[in-house]
């Protein structure tokens, strides 16, 4: 099993990442500080001493000799020593410093640098100095110019820098980890409340909703989206329950009728017209088969199953529909263009026209008009009857499953309330629409599907 590099908890992961990033940043900053700051501090002191030494050397070359040397600030020692080791010029009040003279400059006109521990006076404690020496040609021969400046301030600064880097960095990292842990925990508190509420929601009670924080951030969007999802889920479950209930009711009616007919026939076999009973039983079985077929197709569409598809000419499908219905009580008048190719399932598209024409013929008074036209990049199919029509407020209800209007229930005993919903689902699955348009008299159903063009 592969070990995880980071903790499983988001809070712990973010804390770890923030601490590691801070550690990398502070490590780089510490290394850069240790590389650049000591050199810069020493460079400042060295520059001061070098300027003072070169100034004295320049005066000696020019013959401007002074036994008491003017010493600039931050430079504590200036002395000129002859080739014999005698101090011929020095800073005010400064004793001879033997340890200073032990540092010799080898080549003339070249500055040599070292660090020494010196005491400027006999009773003064020794101090860390930066010392520079330079041999100069004078009118009296070679002389060595010495300059020294205390490094106490530099040593103190470096000491504090080391303390801050090696002790302060761990404290800062601990602070970063603690602050990140607290801030992430505070930010994730609404998520925990959402999780706790989601854990309490069950399939038996989908009315509960997660709390929406008023922070206006991504967690607010997450909570709002979760509630929208729960709304859709609740509606879907309620629709499913109603669907199961209505399906049970629709299936029970023909089964009950069939059972009653068979029971009567079985109870009075000598008085039963078995041919008529068989016809009625076959009609009930046909109705059951139609309901079951529509339920199965609806279930497949709901599950997102895609049936085999190819290019289908809706004009040819419409002509086949009209041919199969020749001699029916309500004639169907076809008005079509030359061809209307659509890419889709032949079975489903044929079922769409079947349902629309069955619905129209059940409600028509004298005729049904079927029109198939190509308009731009779409195919428009219109099925119009001259019946009672559909009120505007009911034009969306008719596409709900098992919905049958009152006038339809009175005139149509064979409908299941699944044909129109199935037709709309088929149109939607093919990237189209199915609506009820204004028309007088009767009702007009308009199916719009994308036109297929050969590449």
* pLDDT given for residue 233 in this prediction: 82
Tell me the pairing of strands 332-336 and 368-375.
parallel
Question: 414 pLDDT exceeds 60?
Answer: no
* pLDDT given for residue 48 in this prediction: 92
Q: Provide the Cα torsion 45, 49, 50, 53; round to 10°.
A: 180
Convert 399-424 to b/e letters by CB count within 10 Å (16 or more is b). Answer: bbbbbbbeebeeebeebbbbbbbbbb
Domains, the chain? 1-200 (no CATH), 218-299 (1.10.287.130), 307-450 (3.30.565.10)
CA angle, 47 then 52 then 56, to 5°: 145
Could you count the other beta carbons within 10 Å of the beta carbon of residue 387? 22
Query: Worst-scoring range by mean pLDDT, 67-81, 178-192, 250-264?
Result: 250-264
> Is the overall model pTM greater than 0.85, yes or no?
no
pLDDT tens track for 213-257: 887 778 888 888 888 888 888 877 777 776 676 666 666 667 777
Q: Which residue has the higher pLDDT, 368 or 192?
A: 368
* pLDDT given for residue 1 in this prediction: 40
pLDDT band at 133 (very low <50, low <70, confident <90, very high): very high
Mean pLDDT of the chain: 84
Query: Worst-scoring range by mean pLDDT, 4-8, 185-189, 331-335?
Result: 4-8
pLDDT tens track for 440-452: 888 999 999 999 8
Instruction: With CA atoms as reference, report the closest residue to 59 among 88, 38, 32.
Output: 88
140 phi and psi angles, rounded to 5 deg: -105, 15
Q: Which residue has the higher pLDDT, 412 or 452?
A: 452
What mean pLDDT comes out for the span 274-280?
79
Cα–Cα distance between 209 and 200 in angstroms, integer? 10
The DSSP code sequence of 131-175 is EEEEEEEETTEEEEEEEEEE-HHHHHHHHHHHHIIIIIHHHHHHH
What mean pLDDT comes out for the span 80-94?
85
Supply the angle between the helices 314-324 and 346-363 in degrees, to the nearest 10.
50
Could you count the other beta carbons within 10 Å of the beta carbon of residue 450? 14
Find the farthest-apart pair of alpha carbons in the chain and give their distance in angstroms, rounded: 160
pLDDT tens track for 380-397: 999 999 888 888 888 888
The single residue listed with the structure tokens 């026939």 is 265
Q: Say if residues 370 and 334 touch (Cβ distance below 8 Å).
A: yes
pLDDT band at 2 (very low <50, low <70, confident <90, very high): very low
Cα–Cα distance between 185 and 192 in angstroms, integer? 10
Q: Say if residues 127 and 117 touch (Cβ distance below 8 Å).
A: yes
* pLDDT given for residue 409 in this prediction: 46
Q: Say if residues 79 and 97 touch (Cβ distance below 8 Å).
A: yes
């Amino acid at each position: 099993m592969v070990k995880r590099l980071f903790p499983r908890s988001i809070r712990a992961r973010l804390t770890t990442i923030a601490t590691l990033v801070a550690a990398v940043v502070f490590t780089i900053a510490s290394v850069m500080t240790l590389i650049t700051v000591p050199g810069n501090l020493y460079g400042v002191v060295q520059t001061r001493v070098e300027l003072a030494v070169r100034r004295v050397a320049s005066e000696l070359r020019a013959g401007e000799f002074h036994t008491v040397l003017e010493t600039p600030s931050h430079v504590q020692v200036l002395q000129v020593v002859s080739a014999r080791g005698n101090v011929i010029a020095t800073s005010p009040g400064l004793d001879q410093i033997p340890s200073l003279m032990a540092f010799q400059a080898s080549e003339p006109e070249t500055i040599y640098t070292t660090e020494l521990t010196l005491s400027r006076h006999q009773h003064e404690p020794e101090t860390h100095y930066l010392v520079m020496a330079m041999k100069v040609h004078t009118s009296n021969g070679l002389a060595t110019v010495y300059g020294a400046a205390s490094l106490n301030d530099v040593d103190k600064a470096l000491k504090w820098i080391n303390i801050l880097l090696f002790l302060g960095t761990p404290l800062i990292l601990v602070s970063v980890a603690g602050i990140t842990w607290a801030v992430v925990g505070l930010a994730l508190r609404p998520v925990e409340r959402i999780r706790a509420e989601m854990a309490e929601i069950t399939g038996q009670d989908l009315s509960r909703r997660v709390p929406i924080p008023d922070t206006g951030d991504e967690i607010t969007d997450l909570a709002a989206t979760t509630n929208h999802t729960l709304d859709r889920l609740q509606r879907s479950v309620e629709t499913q329950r109603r669907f199961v209930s209505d399906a049970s009711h629709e299936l029970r009616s023909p089964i009950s009728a069939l059972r009653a007919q068979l029971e009567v026939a079985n109870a009075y076999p000598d008085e039963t017209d078995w041919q008529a009973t068989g016809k009625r039983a076959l009609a009930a079985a046909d109705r059951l088969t139609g309901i079951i077929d529509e339920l199965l197709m609806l279930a497949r569409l709901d599950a997102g199953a895609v049936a085999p598809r190819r290019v289908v000419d809706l004009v040819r499908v419409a002509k086949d529909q009209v041919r199969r219905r020749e001699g029916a009580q309500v004639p169907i008048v076809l008005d079509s263009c030359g061809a209307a190719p659509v890419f889709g399932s032949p079975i489903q598209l044929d079922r769409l026209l079947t349902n629309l024409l069955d619905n129209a013929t059940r409600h028509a008074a004298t005729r049904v008009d079927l029109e198939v036209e190509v308009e731009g990049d779409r195919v428009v199919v219109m099925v119009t009857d001259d019946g009672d029509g559909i009120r505007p407020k009911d034009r969306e209800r008719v596409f709900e499953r098992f919905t049958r209007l009152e006038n339809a229930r009175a005139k149509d005993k064979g409908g299941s309330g699944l044909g129109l919903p199935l037709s709309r689902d088929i149109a939607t699955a093919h990237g189209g629409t199915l609506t009820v348009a204004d028309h007088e008299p009767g009702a007009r159903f308009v199916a719009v599907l994308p036109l297929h063009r050969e590449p």
